A and B are shown apart, each in its own frame.
Chain A
């Protein structure tokens, strides 16, 4: 059923793209300082060398890509660029355990032909390309690299696009000018997803699992025969060198793990089933729904990267109405609820409970004694900081959250000698924020990747002084690979409560906006787009400057598209 849903989404994408559109590009919020000498001294800074520790009013010296000195009595080299970081905080650069940051997405095949014999497709059509090295599809200038770095990430374990067995992962620095400069560790794991091919074998999860077992067992057999052959080649048939099988050899030798993406509870159980059947070392990434199976996950010994994606927060007003006094009041003043209302209320409660469970997963894993990292794979980068704060509010201790971003993944990826802490001799991967990182108002000011400085210009948001007016009629444009589109926004202001509709010029039909909010000069809202029985939520966030706005429209997981608009003349 999942498969069918996916196909549905893919068919739907061009239509979504047609609805929204793009013109112009983003203002770059960041400048890379030319790395002359590459000697820096951060002074008067609060250092968090490792989770739970703190050195105040310290100096950090960075030279040749390494941390040269950390402490309060550090002599600053005369040729260092001194960066006054008074009242700022410096942490080890964050590590993302699983994503496709900086990985080039292959173009979709236009009108893929239905194969002649769907049961015997070529290996690449079947999704069996474990020999692919993600290093061959890295792009250091991809926007995703900059975006993730801008919130403090300096390293990521990245995987190729595709399903089933798309290739090997690599651990890459989120900076550098070439793919080779980015790669810190190549072939860090064999990446796999339990999702099948379209229209060809293996199509269903059960066929993917069957094929997985067959490939692995055959690779084991060939590998031992190759060893036998190597020991004495006389009178033995030459073994064939099969690149697909060879890709399994380091897994069979337990030199690298199989890295599985598994968001949901059943996917996770299926991955554990394969691990039990075949005995490989396992890393699970992007886990969102592991909480009902914590004990099983723990005893499996798998390395875990929890997803940084979370479902939307429980709406505050819904929470309020669950307050006892309120419900008593409503009971007195309002007429009794209908069966339909009660049912809706029950459904709402179940959904909110699920949101709470998802948000509390990291805290639950910590309580169960599982050491975990985080993965950014399906998270929207702009939501990651607030999602971390939500996990902390749900009971995850701050120092554990920090460990999950730094020391834990460094250890899990075998890099603890080089990364994860702010210590002499470690690689200069650092993040500097103007307030403690988990503070709601914290902004990342500097990021060091491999000793290279990335400086973020912080535009102070204009204070809302009443001059920003969202109310009114606006025309917007967006542009997508499918062409330019435009439409209208109508925003009403009822004593500070905003509402409105969005329409596109093709259909002319208005869609109700949800969660309309004006924060400073940032107008945000979302709306739902229905097509073929599916509904997609599209988020919009734009900055209003007088009678114009600029920002982004984010349809589900299909990336973000710039959006521009002007106020209609009265």
Chain B
């Protein structure tokens, strides 16, 4: 009975949280790890309407504002995962090597329990990407983990730059070359598909520009070009309005895409995984390209053998804006440990290591002015840890999104599902969702013997 009451109380709490959306809060006497402005001992953080309004000692709580006593605790910016596939109902539109027109924003699922579990790991913002089946995949979505809302649109971070998933190497060649016997079957083919797509988009853009210009002329009579959402989206990449996030491993293919981007005047690109990024770190830095990598995960297929746990550190020391991501629902719950590994492998400072999971991923998503560090004026997305987050003893206590406590370790009921299927057998209640790599979800059937 006690359990049930707790659930009821908690649901009520979330009902309230959903209604107001932005919170007020005072966090007292914590060790504040700002990431960008140093570490402040015994300091308070004041939050008003979901924004950080003051960081100082001895702030008095305004009337009615809830206070969290963070004495002895560590207060850091909410963790940002630049590569995730949770909170989505579809990952791969794997039927075509180019699917720029599809958008993960259309298939956000705010009910996945993995969202709450990510909050339990101090994560407040995620970049949920299209899978890596296609050379040019779909548009990705930046989500704030406002778990408790029933509105899929309320999960989306407002006003963020658009991003899109590209993929090089084995995945797109296996799916389309191997699976359907169409281009691309090789790495050359992948480059061709991308170059051709950009060329088509350029032509498309020119046709529409000409039409729109002609339309202004008085008495103009003529047909418009055919509207094509795929080329429309690709044209937005050429115009610099969409950031590329490219699944990649090998140095040669990373260098190839840099050349393609240069040829088409594309500046904004982050290489995802980039296991061999360390080999081309100076080239990445010179181009202004960024890298989002695993701490120490490799050898799960042939193209991922030549890897090192020093990757993040080497990239960082070469001046590449680098983040550490999870690509996995389970790993995202301890990204602070993943970041900590760069201190063992590469000797990064606390601030450099924390930047890998806060301000750097924020830069890669183009939202560094709003999240990723604890500064006045930024969103109050905050994780509070017992013990230093980079320590093996670090444990998240509270996770706060827009000033609202979305995870509280002291009040963490067993069943946090928002929606329950009334037709589901009790035994099948999905309290556990699989936490495997979902990058290739939907394409598995291609790799079995049955290829009808």
Contacts and interface: CB of A to CB of B under 8 A. Distances in A.
A347 B227 contact: no
Contacts of B451: 114
B94 interface: yes
A202 B93 contact: yes
Contacts, number: 151
B102 A210 contact: yes
A207 B442 contact: no
B327 interface: no
A358 interface: yes
Interface string B99-139: 10111101101010000000000000000000000000010
Given A199-B95, A206-B104, A236 B222 contact: yes
B182 A203 contact: no
Given A206-B104, A266-B109, A535-B428, A350 B415 contact: yes
B414 A343 contact: yes
Contact of A346 (B4, B96, B111): B4
A203 B426 contact: no
Interface string A207-240: 1011101100110010001001000100111010
B3 interface: yes
B95 A346 contact: no
Contacts of A209: 102-103, 106
A210 B415 contact: no
A244 interface: no
Contacts of B99: 201, 207
A299 interface: no
Nearest to A534: B428
Given A2-B89, A207-B102, A354-B422, A214 B150 contact: no
A210 B103 contact: yes
Q: Which of A111, A210, A269 has the most CB of B within 10 A?
A: A210
Contact of A327 (B1, B106, B180, B428): B1
Interface of A is mostly: helix
A237 B102 contact: no
Contacts of A346: 3-4, 7, 414-415
Interface string A253-270: 000000000000110011
B420 A350 contact: yes
B1 A204 contact: no
A273 interface: yes
Contacts of B422: 311, 351, 354-355, 357-358
B117 to A, nearest CB: 17
B180 A117 contact: yes
A507 interface: no
Nearest to B89: A205
Contacts of A270: 106-107, 152
A116 interface: yes
Contacts of B442: 3-4, 203-204
B97 interface: yes
A431 B418 CA distance: 41
B432 interface: no
Contact of B153 (A211, A218, A269): A269
A273 B106 CA distance: 8
A214 B228 contact: yes
B426 A351 contact: yes
Q: From A118, A120, A206, name the one whose CB has the most chain B CB atoms within 10 angstroms.
A: A206
B89 A1 contact: yes
B417 interface: yes
B286 interface: no
A348 interface: yes
Interface size class of A (residues with CB under 8 A): 35 or more
Contacts of A293: 150-151
B229 interface: yes
A269 B154 CA distance: 11
A535 B421 CA distance: 14
A266 B96 contact: no
B107 A205 contact: yes
Contacts of B221: 228, 232, 235-236
A278 to B, nearest CB: 12
Contact of B93 (A201, A269, A292): A201
Given A205-B89, A210-B102, A293-B151, A354 B420 contact: yes
Contacts of A414: none
Contact of B96 (A3, A119, A265, A358): A119
Given A201-B96, A202-B95, A111 B452 contact: yes
A29 interface: no
Interface string B72-109: 00000000000000000110111111110111101101
A114 B92 CA distance: 18
Given A221-B224, A239-B223, A349 B153 contact: no
A296 interface: yes
A8 B90 CA distance: 17
Contacts of A311: 422-423
B424 interface: yes
A199 B180 CA distance: 11
B410 interface: no
Interface in B148-191: 150-153, 180-182
A296 B153 CA distance: 12
B425 interface: yes
A349 B417 CA distance: 12
A271 B15 CA distance: 24
Contacts of A349: 4
B150 A292 contact: yes
A114 B452 contact: yes
Q: Which of B182, B422, B451, B452 has the most CB of A within 10 A?
A: B422
Contacts of B223: 225, 236-237, 239
A281 to B, nearest CB: 21
Of B3, B98, B181, most buried by chain A (CB within 10 Å of CB) is B3
A188 B4 CA distance: 48
B216 interface: no
Nearest to A213: B229
A17 B282 CA distance: 64
A531 interface: no
Interface in A247-298: 265-266, 269-270, 273, 289, 292-293, 296
B419 interface: yes
B299 interface: no
Contacts of B421: 351, 354
Contacts of A41: none
B217 interface: no
B131 to A, nearest CB: 10
B137 to A, nearest CB: 10
Contacts of A237: 223
B287 to A, nearest CB: 30
B227 A204 contact: no
Nearest to B97: A119
A417 interface: no
Contact of B106 (A206, A225, A353): A206
Given A205-B106, A236-B221, 13 more contacts: A116-B180, A199-B95, A203-B93, A203-B95, A207-B99, A209-B103, A210-B103, A266-B109, A312-B423, A344-B426, A347-B426, A347-B429, A350-B417
18 contacts: A3-B442, A114-B452, A119-B95, A203-B442, A204-B93, A206-B107, A213-B229, A221-B224, A221-B226, A266-B111, A269-B152, A293-B150, A346-B3, A347-B429, A349-B4, A350-B417, A350-B429, A358-B422
Interface of A: 1-4, 111, 113-114, 116-120, 199-207, 209-211, 213-214, 217-218, 221, 225, 228, 232, 235-237, 239, 265-266, 269-270, 273, 289, 292-293, 296, 311-312, 327, 342-351, 353-355, 357-358, 528, 535
